[in-house]
Amino acid sequence: MPQQRVMITAAAAGIGRSIARAFASEGAKVHICDVNEVALDAFRGDNPDIAATHVNVASEGEIEAWFDDALDDLNGLDVLINNAGIKGPTAAIDDIDFADWRDCLAVCLDSHFLCARRAAPVMKAQGSGVIINISSTAGLYGFGNRTPYAAAKWAVIGLTKSLAREVASRNITVNAIAPGFIITDMTGALSEEVQKTIIGRIPLARVGEPLDVANAVAFLASAEASYITGQTLCVDGGMVM
Protein backbone atom coordinates (compact mmCIF):
# COMPACT_ATOMS: atom_id res chain seq x y z
CA MET A 1 0.00 0.00 0.00
CA PRO A 2 1.34 3.49 -0.84
CA GLN A 3 2.43 5.65 2.08
CA GLN A 4 -0.56 7.65 3.35
CA ARG A 5 -0.23 11.43 3.59
CA VAL A 6 -2.14 12.68 6.61
CA MET A 7 -3.07 16.07 8.07
CA ILE A 8 -4.52 16.34 11.59
CA THR A 9 -5.73 19.44 13.42
CA ALA A 10 -5.17 20.02 17.14
CA ALA A 11 -2.92 16.98 17.45
CA ALA A 12 -0.15 17.94 19.84
CA ALA A 13 -1.93 16.34 22.80
CA GLY A 14 -4.83 14.12 23.79
CA ILE A 15 -6.81 12.28 21.13
CA GLY A 16 -5.09 14.07 18.27
CA ARG A 17 -1.63 13.06 19.46
CA SER A 18 -2.72 9.44 19.73
CA ILE A 19 -4.13 9.56 16.19
CA ALA A 20 -0.93 11.08 14.81
CA ARG A 21 1.24 8.46 16.47
CA ALA A 22 -1.00 5.64 15.26
CA PHE A 23 -0.64 6.76 11.64
CA ALA A 24 3.09 7.39 11.95
CA SER A 25 3.62 3.94 13.48
CA GLU A 26 2.10 2.44 10.33
CA GLY A 27 4.48 4.36 8.10
CA ALA A 28 2.27 7.30 7.15
CA LYS A 29 3.71 10.75 6.54
CA VAL A 30 1.95 13.04 9.00
CA HIS A 31 1.68 16.81 9.41
CA ILE A 32 -0.19 18.13 12.44
CA CYS A 33 -1.09 21.53 13.78
CA ASP A 34 -1.98 22.90 17.20
CA VAL A 35 -2.40 26.27 18.90
CA ASN A 36 -0.67 25.24 22.15
CA GLU A 37 3.03 26.08 21.86
CA VAL A 38 3.99 24.16 25.00
CA ALA A 39 2.24 21.03 23.75
CA LEU A 40 3.80 21.50 20.31
CA ASP A 41 7.31 21.72 21.77
CA ALA A 42 6.73 18.53 23.75
CA PHE A 43 5.24 16.80 20.72
CA ARG A 44 8.17 17.75 18.49
CA GLY A 45 10.59 16.43 21.08
CA ASP A 46 8.78 13.09 21.34
CA ASN A 47 7.94 12.77 17.63
CA PRO A 48 10.77 14.26 15.57
CA ASP A 49 9.57 12.54 12.38
CA ILE A 50 6.14 14.23 12.45
CA ALA A 51 5.89 17.80 11.16
CA ALA A 52 4.09 20.09 13.61
CA THR A 53 2.96 23.66 12.95
CA HIS A 54 1.49 26.33 15.21
CA VAL A 55 -1.99 27.15 13.88
CA ASN A 56 -5.06 28.82 15.35
CA VAL A 57 -7.77 26.89 13.52
CA ALA A 58 -10.28 29.67 14.20
CA SER A 59 -8.30 31.76 11.70
CA GLU A 60 -9.03 31.24 8.02
CA GLY A 61 -5.68 32.80 7.10
CA GLU A 62 -3.68 30.50 9.38
CA ILE A 63 -5.45 27.43 8.05
CA GLU A 64 -4.76 28.54 4.48
CA ALA A 65 -1.07 29.03 5.28
CA TRP A 66 -0.88 25.66 7.02
CA PHE A 67 -2.39 23.89 4.03
CA ASP A 68 0.03 25.62 1.67
CA ASP A 69 2.98 24.39 3.75
CA ALA A 70 1.63 20.94 4.57
CA LEU A 71 0.56 20.07 1.02
CA ASP A 72 4.03 21.03 -0.16
CA ASP A 73 5.61 19.01 2.66
CA LEU A 74 3.45 15.93 2.05
CA ASN A 75 3.29 16.29 -1.73
CA GLY A 76 -0.46 15.70 -1.62
CA LEU A 77 -3.09 14.55 0.84
CA ASP A 78 -4.83 11.23 1.39
CA VAL A 79 -6.38 11.65 4.84
CA LEU A 80 -7.67 14.74 6.64
CA ILE A 81 -8.68 14.42 10.28
CA ASN A 82 -10.58 17.39 11.68
CA ASN A 83 -9.91 16.89 15.36
CA ALA A 84 -9.97 20.47 16.67
CA GLY A 85 -12.46 21.31 19.39
CA ILE A 86 -12.83 23.23 22.62
CA LYS A 87 -15.10 22.79 25.60
CA GLY A 88 -16.83 26.13 25.22
CA PRO A 89 -18.81 27.83 28.00
CA THR A 90 -20.74 25.88 30.61
CA ALA A 91 -23.76 28.00 31.52
CA ALA A 92 -27.45 28.53 30.96
CA ILE A 93 -28.11 29.95 27.51
CA ASP A 94 -29.15 33.32 28.91
CA ASP A 95 -25.76 33.61 30.61
CA ILE A 96 -23.66 32.82 27.52
CA ASP A 97 -21.98 35.72 25.74
CA PHE A 98 -22.35 35.71 21.98
CA ALA A 99 -18.57 36.03 21.66
CA ASP A 100 -18.10 32.80 23.63
CA TRP A 101 -20.70 31.09 21.43
CA ARG A 102 -18.88 32.21 18.30
CA ASP A 103 -15.47 31.16 19.68
CA CYS A 104 -16.76 27.65 20.34
CA LEU A 105 -18.31 27.27 16.89
CA ALA A 106 -15.25 28.75 15.20
CA VAL A 107 -13.02 25.99 16.57
CA CYS A 108 -15.47 23.09 16.74
CA LEU A 109 -17.26 23.66 13.42
CA ASP A 110 -15.78 26.40 11.23
CA SER A 111 -12.33 24.78 11.29
CA HIS A 112 -13.80 21.55 9.92
CA PHE A 113 -15.37 23.46 7.03
CA LEU A 114 -12.23 25.46 6.28
CA CYS A 115 -9.99 22.39 6.24
CA ALA A 116 -12.43 20.30 4.19
CA ARG A 117 -12.73 23.16 1.70
CA ARG A 118 -8.98 23.04 1.09
CA ALA A 119 -8.72 19.25 1.10
CA ALA A 120 -11.60 18.56 -1.28
CA PRO A 121 -10.05 19.86 -4.52
CA VAL A 122 -6.81 17.99 -3.84
CA MET A 123 -8.66 14.73 -3.24
CA LYS A 124 -10.98 15.29 -6.22
CA ALA A 125 -8.00 15.80 -8.52
CA GLN A 126 -6.41 12.51 -7.48
CA GLY A 127 -9.72 10.63 -7.39
CA SER A 128 -9.42 9.41 -3.81
CA GLY A 129 -9.32 10.58 -0.23
CA VAL A 130 -10.63 10.22 3.30
CA ILE A 131 -12.02 12.95 5.55
CA ILE A 132 -12.77 12.11 9.17
CA ASN A 133 -14.46 14.65 11.42
CA ILE A 134 -14.31 14.29 15.19
CA SER A 135 -17.75 15.02 16.60
CA SER A 136 -18.93 13.81 20.03
CA THR A 137 -21.73 11.84 21.61
CA ALA A 138 -22.91 15.34 22.58
CA GLY A 139 -23.73 15.65 18.88
CA LEU A 140 -26.29 12.87 19.22
CA TYR A 141 -28.33 14.07 22.19
CA GLY A 142 -29.12 17.27 24.06
CA PHE A 143 -26.57 18.64 26.51
CA GLY A 144 -28.03 21.22 28.88
CA ASN A 145 -25.78 24.13 29.85
CA ARG A 146 -23.35 23.16 27.09
CA THR A 147 -25.39 24.39 24.11
CA PRO A 148 -22.51 25.89 22.06
CA TYR A 149 -20.48 22.69 22.21
CA ALA A 150 -23.41 20.37 21.57
CA ALA A 151 -24.74 22.54 18.73
CA ALA A 152 -21.33 22.54 17.05
CA LYS A 153 -20.97 18.78 17.38
CA TRP A 154 -24.45 18.20 15.93
CA ALA A 155 -23.48 20.46 13.05
CA VAL A 156 -20.28 18.48 12.45
CA ILE A 157 -22.42 15.39 11.82
CA GLY A 158 -24.59 17.36 9.38
CA LEU A 159 -21.46 18.60 7.61
CA THR A 160 -20.17 15.04 7.43
CA LYS A 161 -23.33 13.59 5.90
CA SER A 162 -23.73 16.42 3.41
CA LEU A 163 -20.11 16.40 2.29
CA ALA A 164 -20.15 12.60 1.98
CA ARG A 165 -22.96 12.86 -0.57
CA GLU A 166 -21.20 15.68 -2.39
CA VAL A 167 -17.88 13.93 -2.97
CA ALA A 168 -18.81 10.25 -3.11
CA SER A 169 -18.67 10.16 -6.92
CA ARG A 170 -15.01 11.22 -6.70
CA ASN A 171 -14.10 8.20 -4.53
CA ILE A 172 -13.78 10.30 -1.35
CA THR A 173 -15.26 9.01 1.90
CA VAL A 174 -16.37 11.29 4.72
CA ASN A 175 -17.23 9.94 8.16
CA ALA A 176 -17.48 11.17 11.73
CA ILE A 177 -16.28 9.73 15.01
CA ALA A 178 -18.36 10.46 18.12
CA PRO A 179 -16.19 9.85 21.19
CA GLY A 180 -17.85 9.42 24.54
CA PHE A 181 -15.99 9.86 27.82
CA ILE A 182 -12.34 9.69 26.78
CA ILE A 183 -9.69 10.40 29.39
CA THR A 184 -7.69 13.46 28.34
CA ASP A 185 -6.25 16.47 30.13
CA MET A 186 -9.67 18.14 29.90
CA THR A 187 -11.77 15.23 31.17
CA GLY A 188 -9.10 14.18 33.65
CA ALA A 189 -9.60 17.49 35.44
CA LEU A 190 -13.10 16.40 36.47
CA SER A 191 -13.53 15.37 40.09
CA GLU A 192 -13.34 11.71 41.01
CA GLU A 193 -17.01 11.82 42.01
CA VAL A 194 -18.07 13.15 38.61
CA GLN A 195 -15.95 10.55 36.82
CA LYS A 196 -17.52 7.74 38.86
CA THR A 197 -21.00 9.01 37.98
CA ILE A 198 -20.14 9.03 34.28
CA ILE A 199 -18.56 5.57 34.39
CA GLY A 200 -21.73 4.30 36.03
CA ARG A 201 -23.61 5.19 32.84
CA ILE A 202 -21.20 3.34 30.53
CA PRO A 203 -22.16 -0.29 29.77
CA LEU A 204 -18.51 -1.33 29.40
CA ALA A 205 -17.90 0.26 32.82
CA ARG A 206 -14.65 2.03 31.98
CA VAL A 207 -13.44 5.29 30.54
CA GLY A 208 -12.15 5.37 27.01
CA GLU A 209 -8.52 5.97 26.09
CA PRO A 210 -7.31 8.22 23.25
CA LEU A 211 -6.03 5.07 21.54
CA ASP A 212 -9.62 3.76 21.35
CA VAL A 213 -10.48 6.74 19.15
CA ALA A 214 -7.23 6.49 17.19
CA ASN A 215 -7.98 2.86 16.35
CA ALA A 216 -11.43 3.81 15.02
CA VAL A 217 -9.93 6.60 12.93
CA ALA A 218 -7.29 4.26 11.53
CA PHE A 219 -10.00 1.81 10.49
CA LEU A 220 -12.06 4.48 8.71
CA ALA A 221 -8.92 5.62 6.89
CA SER A 222 -8.05 2.10 5.77
CA ALA A 223 -8.93 0.19 2.61
CA GLU A 224 -11.15 -2.06 4.74
CA ALA A 225 -13.52 0.91 5.23
CA SER A 226 -13.60 2.03 1.59
CA TYR A 227 -17.33 1.24 1.28
CA ILE A 228 -18.30 3.25 4.39
CA THR A 229 -19.25 6.91 4.06
CA GLY A 230 -21.61 9.41 5.64
CA GLN A 231 -21.61 7.51 8.93
CA THR A 232 -21.07 8.44 12.58
CA LEU A 233 -19.16 5.87 14.57
CA CYS A 234 -19.61 6.08 18.35
CA VAL A 235 -16.57 5.25 20.44
CA ASP A 236 -18.25 5.47 23.81
CA GLY A 237 -18.32 2.08 25.56
CA GLY A 238 -21.99 1.73 24.65
CA MET A 239 -23.21 4.84 26.47
CA VAL A 240 -25.38 6.15 23.63
CA MET A 241 -26.72 2.64 23.03
Give me the catalytic one of 149, 182, 210, 217.
Answer: 149
Q: Answer whether 22's CB lies under 8 Å from 31's CB.
A: no
Q: For residue 149, indicate whether it is catalytic.
A: yes
Supply φ then ψ for residue 218, to 5 degrees. -60, -40
Instruction: Please report which helix (H) or strand (E) contains residue 232, including its range.
Output: strand 232-235
| Alpha carbon distance 129, 79 (integer Å) | 6
Question: Rounded to an integer, what is the distance from CA 71 to the centroid of its chain?
Answer: 19
Distance CA 76, CA 30 (A): 11
Helix (H) / strand (E) element for 37: namely: helix 37-46
Taking every pair of Cα atoms in the chain, the longest distance, rounded to a whole number of angstroms, is 53
Q: Which residues are catalytic?
A: 149
